[in-house]
Amino acid sequence: MPRAYGLALWRFFLIILVFIGFTPLYWLLLKVNQPLGFRFGRFYLSTWRRCIGHQLIIKGTLSKAKPTLYVSNHSTYVDILVLGTFIPARFVAKLEVAEWPIMGWLATNQGTIYIDRSRNAISEGTDKLTEFIDKGESLILFPEGTTSDGCRILPFGSSFFDVAIKKNVVVQPITVTYAGWDRLPMPRFMRKICGWFSPDVDLLSHLWFIAQWGTVQVIVTLHTPLKASEFASRKELSQASFQAVQEGLLDAFSKPISEYMS
Protein backbone atom coordinates (compact mmCIF):
# COMPACT_ATOMS: atom_id res chain seq x y z
CA MET A 1 0.00 0.00 0.00
CA PRO A 2 2.79 2.54 0.74
CA ARG A 3 4.05 2.01 -2.82
CA ALA A 4 0.54 2.59 -4.20
CA TYR A 5 0.16 5.78 -2.17
CA GLY A 6 3.55 6.92 -3.38
CA LEU A 7 2.50 6.39 -6.99
CA ALA A 8 -0.72 8.35 -6.42
CA LEU A 9 1.19 11.21 -4.79
CA TRP A 10 3.63 11.29 -7.70
CA ARG A 11 0.80 11.40 -10.22
CA PHE A 12 -1.02 14.16 -8.37
CA PHE A 13 2.26 16.08 -8.24
CA LEU A 14 2.53 15.74 -12.03
CA ILE A 15 -1.05 16.92 -12.44
CA ILE A 16 -0.28 20.02 -10.38
CA LEU A 17 2.82 20.71 -12.49
CA VAL A 18 0.80 20.35 -15.69
CA PHE A 19 -1.89 22.65 -14.33
CA ILE A 20 0.61 25.33 -13.31
CA GLY A 21 2.74 24.99 -16.42
CA PHE A 22 0.14 24.74 -19.18
CA THR A 23 -3.06 26.36 -17.92
CA PRO A 24 -2.02 30.02 -18.44
CA LEU A 25 -1.07 29.27 -22.08
CA TYR A 26 -4.28 27.28 -22.55
CA TRP A 27 -6.43 30.15 -21.31
CA LEU A 28 -4.52 32.67 -23.43
CA LEU A 29 -4.95 30.62 -26.60
CA LEU A 30 -8.67 30.17 -25.93
CA LYS A 31 -9.06 33.94 -25.61
CA VAL A 32 -6.89 34.92 -28.58
CA ASN A 33 -7.56 32.08 -31.04
CA GLN A 34 -10.25 29.62 -29.96
CA PRO A 35 -9.63 26.98 -32.69
CA LEU A 36 -5.93 26.94 -31.79
CA GLY A 37 -6.90 26.81 -28.12
CA PHE A 38 -9.07 23.75 -28.75
CA ARG A 39 -6.18 22.02 -30.56
CA PHE A 40 -3.85 22.79 -27.67
CA GLY A 41 -6.62 21.56 -25.37
CA ARG A 42 -6.41 18.09 -26.93
CA PHE A 43 -2.71 17.99 -26.04
CA TYR A 44 -3.61 19.29 -22.57
CA LEU A 45 -6.17 16.51 -22.05
CA SER A 46 -3.69 13.94 -23.34
CA THR A 47 -1.14 15.11 -20.77
CA TRP A 48 -3.68 14.77 -17.95
CA ARG A 49 -4.54 11.26 -19.16
CA ARG A 50 -0.90 10.23 -19.14
CA CYS A 51 -0.44 11.69 -15.67
CA ILE A 52 -3.08 9.38 -14.18
CA GLY A 53 -1.56 6.36 -15.91
CA HIS A 54 -4.01 5.60 -18.72
CA GLN A 55 -2.47 4.27 -21.94
CA LEU A 56 -4.49 4.85 -25.11
CA ILE A 57 -4.73 2.12 -27.77
CA ILE A 58 -6.69 3.15 -30.88
CA LYS A 59 -8.04 0.57 -33.33
CA GLY A 60 -9.71 1.70 -36.53
CA THR A 61 -9.88 4.96 -38.46
CA LEU A 62 -11.48 8.18 -37.29
CA SER A 63 -14.16 9.63 -39.58
CA LYS A 64 -12.92 12.79 -41.29
CA ALA A 65 -16.38 13.82 -42.53
CA LYS A 66 -17.43 17.28 -41.41
CA PRO A 67 -19.56 17.22 -39.42
CA THR A 68 -19.56 13.76 -37.82
CA LEU A 69 -21.64 12.64 -34.86
CA TYR A 70 -19.40 10.39 -32.77
CA VAL A 71 -21.38 8.17 -30.38
CA SER A 72 -19.66 6.29 -27.58
CA ASN A 73 -20.35 4.24 -24.49
CA HIS A 74 -19.65 6.01 -21.20
CA SER A 75 -18.42 4.59 -17.89
CA THR A 76 -16.26 7.29 -16.32
CA TYR A 77 -15.18 10.93 -16.46
CA VAL A 78 -11.85 9.64 -17.82
CA ASP A 79 -13.69 9.12 -21.13
CA ILE A 80 -13.36 12.89 -21.57
CA LEU A 81 -9.57 12.63 -21.31
CA VAL A 82 -9.50 9.59 -23.61
CA LEU A 83 -11.72 10.81 -26.45
CA GLY A 84 -10.81 14.48 -26.09
CA THR A 85 -7.19 13.56 -26.78
CA PHE A 86 -7.62 12.83 -30.48
CA ILE A 87 -11.15 13.69 -31.67
CA PRO A 88 -11.58 17.28 -32.93
CA ALA A 89 -15.16 17.66 -31.75
CA ARG A 90 -17.30 19.17 -29.00
CA PHE A 91 -18.62 16.94 -26.24
CA VAL A 92 -22.35 16.84 -25.53
CA ALA A 93 -22.94 16.43 -21.80
CA LYS A 94 -25.66 16.68 -19.18
CA LEU A 95 -25.86 19.88 -17.17
CA GLU A 96 -24.37 18.34 -14.01
CA VAL A 97 -21.00 17.75 -15.68
CA ALA A 98 -20.27 21.47 -15.58
CA GLU A 99 -20.27 21.24 -11.77
CA TRP A 100 -17.77 18.37 -11.55
CA PRO A 101 -14.45 19.38 -9.97
CA ILE A 102 -11.55 19.45 -12.44
CA MET A 103 -13.29 17.49 -15.21
CA GLY A 104 -16.15 19.97 -15.43
CA TRP A 105 -13.63 22.76 -15.84
CA LEU A 106 -11.75 20.85 -18.54
CA ALA A 107 -14.95 19.96 -20.38
CA THR A 108 -16.23 23.53 -20.31
CA ASN A 109 -12.98 24.97 -21.65
CA GLN A 110 -13.06 22.47 -24.53
CA GLY A 111 -16.38 23.88 -25.68
CA THR A 112 -18.70 21.21 -24.29
CA ILE A 113 -22.38 21.68 -25.13
CA TYR A 114 -24.47 21.23 -22.00
CA ILE A 115 -28.03 20.03 -22.44
CA ASP A 116 -30.95 19.18 -20.20
CA ARG A 117 -31.68 15.48 -20.73
CA SER A 118 -35.14 15.57 -19.15
CA ARG A 119 -38.01 14.59 -21.44
CA ASN A 120 -39.47 18.08 -21.43
CA ALA A 121 -36.22 19.57 -22.75
CA ILE A 122 -35.43 17.09 -25.55
CA SER A 123 -36.67 19.40 -28.29
CA GLU A 124 -34.60 22.29 -26.96
CA GLY A 125 -31.52 20.05 -26.74
CA THR A 126 -32.01 18.80 -30.29
CA ASP A 127 -32.27 22.37 -31.57
CA LYS A 128 -29.05 23.30 -29.78
CA LEU A 129 -27.14 20.39 -31.31
CA THR A 130 -28.56 21.20 -34.74
CA GLU A 131 -27.12 24.73 -34.50
CA PHE A 132 -23.60 23.34 -34.12
CA ILE A 133 -24.10 20.71 -36.83
CA ASP A 134 -25.24 23.48 -39.18
CA LYS A 135 -21.93 25.24 -38.48
CA GLY A 136 -20.08 22.10 -39.59
CA GLU A 137 -18.93 21.19 -36.08
CA SER A 138 -18.56 17.54 -35.11
CA LEU A 139 -20.01 16.32 -31.80
CA ILE A 140 -19.25 13.55 -29.30
CA LEU A 141 -22.41 12.10 -27.77
CA PHE A 142 -22.90 9.55 -24.98
CA PRO A 143 -26.31 8.04 -25.90
CA GLU A 144 -26.55 5.98 -22.71
CA GLY A 145 -27.33 9.24 -20.93
CA THR A 146 -25.38 8.19 -17.83
CA THR A 147 -22.32 6.17 -16.82
CA SER A 148 -22.34 2.37 -16.80
CA ASP A 149 -20.22 -0.02 -14.74
CA GLY A 150 -17.82 -0.53 -17.66
CA CYS A 151 -18.78 -4.20 -18.09
CA ARG A 152 -21.78 -3.69 -20.36
CA ILE A 153 -23.45 -1.15 -22.61
CA LEU A 154 -26.66 0.47 -21.40
CA PRO A 155 -29.51 0.98 -23.92
CA PHE A 156 -28.99 3.97 -26.20
CA GLY A 157 -31.48 6.79 -26.10
CA SER A 158 -32.51 7.63 -29.66
CA SER A 159 -33.75 11.21 -29.27
CA PHE A 160 -30.59 13.04 -30.32
CA PHE A 161 -30.00 10.72 -33.28
CA ASP A 162 -32.81 12.72 -34.83
CA VAL A 163 -30.24 15.43 -35.56
CA ALA A 164 -28.24 13.00 -37.71
CA ILE A 165 -31.35 11.79 -39.55
CA LYS A 166 -32.64 15.28 -40.35
CA LYS A 167 -29.25 16.67 -41.34
CA ASN A 168 -27.98 13.48 -43.03
CA VAL A 169 -24.89 13.43 -40.83
CA VAL A 170 -22.32 10.63 -40.70
CA VAL A 171 -22.45 8.75 -37.39
CA GLN A 172 -19.39 6.90 -36.12
CA PRO A 173 -19.90 4.45 -33.23
CA ILE A 174 -16.99 4.24 -30.78
CA THR A 175 -16.29 1.69 -28.06
CA VAL A 176 -14.16 2.71 -25.07
CA THR A 177 -12.96 -0.32 -23.11
CA TYR A 178 -10.89 -0.20 -19.93
CA ALA A 179 -9.46 -3.60 -20.69
CA GLY A 180 -5.97 -3.93 -19.26
CA TRP A 181 -4.01 -3.35 -16.10
CA ASP A 182 -0.23 -3.38 -16.50
CA ARG A 183 -0.74 -5.27 -19.80
CA LEU A 184 -2.78 -8.01 -18.13
CA PRO A 185 -6.55 -8.51 -18.56
CA MET A 186 -8.40 -6.28 -16.12
CA PRO A 187 -10.53 -8.37 -13.70
CA ARG A 188 -14.26 -7.72 -13.79
CA PHE A 189 -14.33 -6.23 -10.29
CA MET A 190 -11.62 -3.74 -11.29
CA ARG A 191 -13.57 -2.68 -14.38
CA LYS A 192 -16.40 -1.69 -12.08
CA ILE A 193 -14.00 0.23 -9.85
CA CYS A 194 -12.40 1.90 -12.87
CA GLY A 195 -15.81 3.13 -13.95
CA TRP A 196 -17.22 6.01 -11.92
CA PHE A 197 -20.94 5.44 -11.61
CA SER A 198 -21.64 5.32 -7.86
CA PRO A 199 -23.24 8.40 -6.28
CA ASP A 200 -21.60 7.36 -3.01
CA VAL A 201 -18.09 8.10 -4.29
CA ASP A 202 -17.06 11.67 -5.10
CA LEU A 203 -14.93 12.34 -8.16
CA LEU A 204 -11.74 13.39 -6.38
CA SER A 205 -11.80 10.33 -4.12
CA HIS A 206 -12.21 8.11 -7.16
CA LEU A 207 -9.38 9.90 -8.99
CA TRP A 208 -7.11 9.38 -5.97
CA PHE A 209 -8.02 5.70 -5.92
CA ILE A 210 -7.30 4.94 -9.58
CA ALA A 211 -4.09 6.99 -9.40
CA GLN A 212 -2.73 4.27 -7.09
CA TRP A 213 -2.93 1.65 -9.84
CA GLY A 214 -0.26 0.84 -12.37
CA THR A 215 -0.93 1.55 -16.05
CA VAL A 216 -4.46 1.08 -17.36
CA GLN A 217 -4.77 0.09 -21.03
CA VAL A 218 -7.75 1.80 -22.67
CA ILE A 219 -8.83 0.35 -26.01
CA VAL A 220 -10.75 2.74 -28.25
CA THR A 221 -12.41 0.96 -31.17
CA LEU A 222 -13.44 3.21 -34.05
CA HIS A 223 -16.20 1.41 -35.94
CA THR A 224 -17.25 1.82 -39.56
CA PRO A 225 -19.10 5.15 -39.97
CA LEU A 226 -22.84 4.91 -40.61
CA LYS A 227 -24.65 7.01 -43.20
CA ALA A 228 -27.80 8.42 -41.64
CA SER A 229 -29.48 8.44 -45.05
CA GLU A 230 -29.44 4.63 -45.06
CA PHE A 231 -31.68 4.39 -42.00
CA ALA A 232 -35.44 4.90 -41.95
CA SER A 233 -35.61 6.33 -38.44
CA ARG A 234 -33.54 7.59 -35.53
CA LYS A 235 -34.38 4.40 -33.62
CA GLU A 236 -32.90 2.22 -36.35
CA LEU A 237 -29.77 4.37 -36.44
CA SER A 238 -29.53 4.30 -32.66
CA GLN A 239 -29.89 0.52 -32.56
CA ALA A 240 -27.24 0.00 -35.25
CA SER A 241 -24.86 2.23 -33.30
CA PHE A 242 -25.60 0.36 -30.07
CA GLN A 243 -24.94 -2.98 -31.75
CA ALA A 244 -21.56 -1.85 -33.06
CA VAL A 245 -20.48 -0.45 -29.69
CA GLN A 246 -21.62 -3.56 -27.84
CA GLU A 247 -19.76 -5.87 -30.22
CA GLY A 248 -16.66 -3.73 -29.76
CA LEU A 249 -16.81 -4.14 -25.98
CA LEU A 250 -17.24 -7.91 -26.16
CA ASP A 251 -14.41 -8.17 -28.68
CA ALA A 252 -12.03 -6.11 -26.53
CA PHE A 253 -12.74 -8.26 -23.47
CA SER A 254 -12.31 -11.52 -25.40
CA LYS A 255 -8.81 -10.85 -26.75
CA PRO A 256 -5.50 -10.62 -24.88
CA ILE A 257 -4.16 -7.10 -24.42
CA SER A 258 -0.96 -8.09 -26.24
CA GLU A 259 -2.95 -8.59 -29.45
CA TYR A 260 -4.09 -4.96 -29.37
CA MET A 261 -0.62 -3.66 -28.56
CA SER A 262 1.16 -5.51 -31.37
The fourth-level CATH superfamily of domain 55-261 is: Glycerol-3-phosphate (1)-acyltransferase (3.40.1130.10)
pTM score, two decimals?
0.92
Instruction: Give, in order, the Cα–Cα distances in Å from 232 to each of 142, 144, 227.
Output: 22, 21, 11
- Determine the Cα–Cα distance for residues 237 and 63; give it in Å rounded to an integer: 17
Q: What is the pLDDT at residue 3?
A: 66
Q: What is the pLDDT at residue 156?
A: 96
Instruction: Give residue 1's pLDDT band: very low, low, confident or very high (50, 70, 90).
Output: low
Considering the chain, what percentage of its residues have pLDDT values greater than 70?
97
- The answer, yes or no, to whether residue 235 has pLDDT greater than 90, is yes
Instruction: Considering only residues 102 and 238, tell me which one the structure prediction assigns the higher pLDDT.
Output: 238
Determine whether 126 is exposed, middle or buried from the number of CB atoms within 10 Å of its CB (0-12, 13-18, 19+): middle
Instruction: Decide if 66 contacts 138 (C-beta within 8 A).
Output: yes
Among residues 220, 214, 171, the alpha carbon closest in space to that of 190 is found at: 214
- Lowest-confidence pick of 91-100, 190-199, 228-237: 190-199
Instruction: Considering only residues 167 and 1, tell me which one the structure prediction assigns the higher pLDDT.
Output: 167
Q: What is the mean pLDDT of residues 52-60?
A: 95
Instruction: Decide if 234 contacts 158 (C-beta within 8 A).
Output: yes
Q: What is the pLDDT at residue 191?
A: 78
Instruction: Considering only residues 209 and 164, tell me which one the structure prediction assigns the higher pLDDT.
Output: 164
Query: Using one digit for the tens of pLDDT, what is the confidence trace for 7-23?
Result: 989 999 999 999 999 99
Q: What is the pLDDT at residue 199?
A: 60
Query: Using one digit for the tens of pLDDT, what is the confidence trace for 169-178?
Result: 999 999 999 9
Q: What is the pLDDT at residue 46?
A: 95
Q: What is the pLDDT at residue 20?
A: 93
Query: Using one digit for the tens of pLDDT, what is the confidence trace for 69-121?
Result: 999 999 888 999 999 999 999 999 988 888 887 788 888 989 999 998 887 88
Instruction: Give residue 208's pLDDT band: very low, low, confident or very high (50, 70, 90).
Output: confident
- The answer, yes or no, to whether residue 2 has pLDDT greater than 90, is no
Enumerate helices (H) and strands (E) in the chain, giving the number of each: 10, 9
Where are the domains positioned within the chain?
Answer: 55-261
- Work out the mean pLDDT of the chain and round it to a whole number: 90
Among residues 85, 98, 101, the alpha carbon closest in space to that of 208 is found at: 101
Instruction: Give residue 198's pLDDT band: very low, low, confident or very high (50, 70, 90).
Output: low
